[in-house]
Amino acid sequence: MLNRVFKWRGVVLAAALIGLAGAAFAQVEGGKPALAVCMSEDNAPLSMARKGQLSGFDVKMAEAVAQELGRPLRLVPFESELEQDANFAIEVNALLSAGVCDLVSGFPLLATDLGQPGRLKAKPPDYPGAKRPRDRADVTLGNVVASHPYQGMALQLVQREDAPRANGLGELRDQKIGAVAGTLEGTLIATYQGGALLPDMVSMGKLDDRWAALESGKVDAMLMPSTAWDVYRTRAAAPLRLRAGPPQSLGINVGWVALAGKPELIEAVNRVAAREAQLQQWAQDVGLQRLPPTEPAVARELSLAALLKP
């Protein structure tokens, strides 16, 4: 908690010393207002913040969107989960409604999170220049609209190389299966075929190092988001001692969102999202598995039925 407070104060101080002095230039350059794009600081390889700089697939898209609109680009990293009961969709809406950004990338396209919000007001999450959480005012939320999807979401079964190869959850019996409490992946493991994998399940906390657990042999297999595997396979210093099965689609896509009433922003994102060859190249550049969006573009709900099949 103390580290988080120190980190937050450092970001605010930097904004005070640098951002305030050049605010006018940051907002308007060459007579056109900057396009402010918010993206998660911890969503690699889509977006990630390191030493104050954002990088990743979404950054490359943002640069292309700004070029489409003929506007300079201003990237704004944000940190989700300001509160324990934080809702990502509401936090994104608050960022847009507060005028912190014009667009937000990396948004899971669920129908319940678009359009009219489920509450009237909310506080934006942490971002450079934000007031302290206790001093941060609630903002009235607006209606959120989405772009076309640009990436699908999937889970992958990751195993130790010396474990018997499994082609699905049904072939994991007698293997030590890691399950992180409070995650979709952990829920899938715990509920598979009415708890068939519970005798072999190893419960883990959200702060536990999943890769260390796999490499040390504490667990033999884990179900993970495909993006987590992307990050691991591109940064592993030692030869990989793990393998991953094919991605299994969650039936949810990722898109960009803006407040209703700004169709030019969404149209620009849609034009960039239609450049499949360029998307493929960007994915290769950042180590992202290119997962084409699935139908429907906006899912009505998350269905676990397909993932729980034998």
Residue-wise pLDDT tens digits, 74-108:
999 998 764 455 689 999 999 999 999 999 999 99
SS3 34: coil
Q: Which residue has the tokens 């060459």?
A: 30
The 3-state secondary structure of 210-276 reads HHHHHHHCCCCEEEEEHHHHHHHHHHCCCCCCEEECCCEEEEEEEEEEEECCCHHHHHHHHHHHCCH
Strongest mean pLDDT among 12-26, 67-81, 277-291: 277-291
Given a cut of 50, whether residue 21 has pLDDT beyond it is: no
Mean pLDDT of 158-174: 90
Mean pLDDT of 264-271: 98
Residue-wise pLDDT tens digits, 130-141:
888 888 889 999
Given a cut of 50, whether residue 284 has pLDDT beyond it is: yes
Given a cut of 90, whether residue 12 has pLDDT beyond it is: no
Structure tokens at 173: 């019996």
Name the average pLDDT for the chain: 86
Residue 301 confidence (pLDDT): 80
| Separation of alpha carbons 148 and 273, rounded Å | 7
Q: Which residue has the tokens 């898209």?
A: 61
| Separation of alpha carbons 104 and 117, rounded Å | 16
Q: How confident is the model at residue 168 (pLDDT cuts 50, 70, 90)?
A: confident
Long-range contacts of 89-92 (CB under 8 A, 24+ apart): 89/113, 89/117, 89/144, 90/117, 90/118, 90/119, 90/122, 90/141, 91/122, 91/124, 91/125, 92/38, 92/144, 92/257
Given a cut of 90, whether residue 20 has pLDDT beyond it is: no
Residue 132 confidence (pLDDT): 87
103 in Cβ contact with 299 (< 8 Å)? no
41 in Cβ contact with 47 (< 8 Å)? yes
Task: Calculate ∠ Cα 274-298-87, nearest 5°.
Answer: 115
Task: Please enumerate in sequence order all residues whose Cβ is within 8 A of that of 261, keeping only pairs 6 or more positions apart, or say none.
Answer: none
Mean pLDDT of 44-69: 95
The 3-state secondary structure of 138-174 reads CEECCCEEECCCCEEEEEEEEEECCCCCCCCHHHCCC
Residue 294 confidence (pLDDT): 93
Strongest mean pLDDT among 29-43, 189-203, 239-253, 265-279: 265-279
SS3 4: helix
Residue 252 confidence (pLDDT): 94
pTM metric for this prediction: 0.84
| Separation of alpha carbons 165 and 161, rounded Å | 8
All domains of the chain in start order, with CATH: 2-151+253-286 (3.40.190.10), 152-250 (3.40.190.10)
Mean pLDDT of 191-216: 92
Q: How confident is the model at residue 52 (pLDDT cuts 50, 70, 90)?
A: confident
Q: How confident is the model at residue 233 (pLDDT cuts 50, 70, 90)?
A: confident
Given a cut of 90, whether residue 36 has pLDDT beyond it is: yes
| Separation of alpha carbons 1 and 67, rounded Å | 39
